[in-house]
Structure 1
Amino acid sequence: MTDPDSPTERLVDLLDLERIEENIFRGHSPDEPLQRVFGGQVAGQALVAAGRTTDGDRPVHSLHAYFLRPGVPGVPIVYMVERVRDGRSFTTRRVVAVQQGRTIFNLTASFHRGEQGFEHQMPMPDVPDPESLPRLADEVRDHLGTLPESLERMAHHQPFDIRYVERLRWTPRELEGVEPRSAVWMRAVGPLGDDPLVHTCAVTYASDMTLLDAVRLPIEPLWGPRGFDMASLDHAMWFHHPFRADEWFLYQQESPVATGARGLARGQIFDRQGRLLVSVMQEGLFRKAGG
């Protein structure tokens, strides 16, 4: 029997879109006290819609997406899929996400039939094992004595266990000389089943959770009052190997540049054996709060 209160069950349900036409799907959006729908949710649902129009024998190898407008929590999102190409080796899909009659998100995804070829990769960083690190909620609770209401709510509903490789910094003084880098261990808090598309879309969801941390680190503490309003502008991912999102993966993140109120972040996702599973790029908008 499934548990409707389980964060992973809610994530699987979130990614289980309703097909309302051959190439049209509808996803629900939780009615939560947020300013906008979480971008990782929209990206994950859009990728599900794209994948549901393929034969399933070609895993996704890349996606490129733009966040065009903020989504409204609690309002369903309709995903319209265009079957751009079905070739001998590659399949391409374009997805438009619409809410309340307006386009909020565009995604193009490419699927590739497996082939043999040469291999190389950059090595995985040497970091502590996830079991030796505190859970995010526990680290914040230990420092503050209690959890802020927003983080308490997030900890209760969060489908991923997140553990920062380096200790959290709480004051501007602690940020002096800090490089724009961050790393976290993550995994779904419960089993996600055996559908590879669900695991791919779950990691797509998770990839938007902490990536812009690397941009913020030299500016302000990650867990405290925000001096900047943030929004994801675009998102790109390349998938190199199959994986399970309910097993530990390391998300290494860095920001090569920030300028013009925009910050660029790139991430690498490794499994515990050191295989590079996914590469990620994202640009975010950073404006002074209230500006």
Structure 2
Amino acid sequence: MNSAKQLLNILELTEVGTHQFEGESKTIGSPNVFGGQVLAQALNAAYRTITNKRILHSLHSYFLEAGNLELPIRYEVSIIRDGGSFSTRRVTALQRDKIIFILSASFHKIEGGYEHQIPMKTNVKPPEELLSWEDLLKQYGKLMPKNRREFLEIERPIDFKPTVIANPMDRKDLPPFNDIWFKLKGNINGLELPIKQQILTYISDYNILLTAILPNASKAHYGNLQMASLDHSMWFFREFDFDDWMLFSIESPSSSNARGFSRGNIFSRDGKLIASVAQEGLLRPWKRQ
């Protein structure tokens, strides 16, 4: 999967019953289903039951079981409420009749109101001055640890450009902050906002939990940690397009009890705040046998 069009094909579900949908999976390098894919597919299912043109403003979800890449995922939507201004949906994702994920989503009619937002950082290097994941693989792949190299070798529909590149061979603790530019591959102009929100939800599960490892990077890494998303929430604020780079600015306030918490803001390149994200994940050190 190396283009935005292929990503759209994965996110678009097949209707298999009343308020029931089914989706397939594509690996991103993990042995289990990527959490961002389940999030976006569940949102696709919820949107398929919205008939009053309301737009998603928030979602809250829990990952309950690891998803099997070889099995289809069935999404069952419950219509909780259609009020005067808001509509609420609950989505349950299942494999072999076992619940692996639940999501609640709220949709709001378009209304005018007061506005403000926090500013985007001004000291972040522009994407033109940075190396992408693909660039890093080409230049330094032979020097990377095997698991890091294999992760970067997976084809993706998104280009990522981190503003700071940590040397995996230089084991040292880092500040709990991470700023990553991202851009879709391919031309997909003219998408409706619900589709763009599904794509952004997919992307939002990249990089966020990794930020919670940085303060302990001298000890913690892919090879000695069990990592998994536990929950994921998003709030959507404004219309946007994917025609330029966007910035995901992440911080991790805390890690403890084998869990890490991260939160971040997604900005358009011109500084417009598009969405905010929060996630807690499992960061369990492997026990030596």
Q: What TM-score, normalized to structure 1?
A: 0.90
Which residue of structure 2 aligns with residue 262 of structure 1? Answer: 259
What secondary structure sits across from 2:223 in the alignment? coil
How far 1:247 sits from its partner (Å)? 3.0
Distance 1:225 1:53, change over 3 A: closer
Q: Judging changes above 3 Å, is the alpha-carbon distance between structure 1 residues 261 and 153 closer, same or farther for their aligned structure 2 residues?
A: closer
Residue by residue over 1:219-255, the C-alpha shift from the partner in whole angstroms, topping out at 9 and shown as x without a partner, is 2279975221100000000000012245311000010
Task: Return the match for 2:162 from 161, 164, 176.
Answer: 164
**Cα deviation, residue 7, structure 1:** 2.8
2:83 maps to 87
Equivalent-residue separation in structure 2 for 1:159 and 1:31 (angstroms): 12
Following superposition, the deviation at residue 261 of structure 1 comes to: 0.6
Q: How much has 1:39 moved relative to structure 2?
A: 0.4
Q: Which residue of 1 aligns with 2:246?
A: 249
Q: State the match for 1:57 in structure 2.
A: 53
1:125 is matched with: 121
SS at match of 1:202: helix
Is the CA contact 2:2–2:158 (under 8 Å) kept in the aligned structure 1? no
Q: Residue type of the partner of 1:160? A: I
2:186 to 190, 207, 211: 190
Paired residues in the alignment total: 285
How far apart in 1 are the matches of 2:59 and 2:270?
25
Counterparts of 1:122 and 1:274, CA distance in 2: 9
Distance 1:242 1:29 in 2: 28
> In structure 2, what is the equivalent of residue 281 of structure 1?
278
- Amino-acid identity (%): 38
Q: Is the 8 A contact 2:28 2:151 kept in 1?
A: no
The match for 2:208 is: 211
Partner Cα distance (2:234, 2:28) in 1: 27
Give the Å deviation of 1:267.
0.6
Instruction: Supply the RMSD in Å over aligned alpha carbons.
Output: 2.3
What displacement does 1:171 show? Answer: 3.5
- 1:31–1:75: 8 Å Cα contact kept in structure 2? no
Q: In the alignment, does 2:65 pair up with 1:66?
A: no
The answer to whether the Cα contact below 8 Å between 1:64 and 1:108 also exists between their aligned partners in 2 is: yes
| 4+ residue segments displaced more than 4 Å | 146-156, 221-225
In structure 2, which of residues 98, 105, 112 is the aligned counterpart of residue 102 of structure 1? 98
Contact 1:170 1:223 in 2 (8 A): no
* Residues 1:228 and 1:134: Cα distance change in structure 2 (over 3 Å): same
> CA offsets per residue over residues 252-273 of structure 1, 9 Å max, x none?
0010011111111001000011
Give the Cα separation in 2 of the matches to 1:241 and 1:159. 23
Equivalent residues of 2:220, 2:285 under 8 A apart: no
What CA distance in whole angstroms lies between the structure 2 residues aligned with 1:222 and 1:112?
45
State the secondary structure of the residue aligned to 1:19. strand
Taking the aligned partners of 2:208 and 2:152, their CA distance within structure 1 comes to 17
Partner Cα separation in structure 1 for residue 54 and residue 286 of structure 2: 44
Secondary structure in 2 matching 1:143: helix
Structure 1: stretches of 5+ with no match in the other structure: none
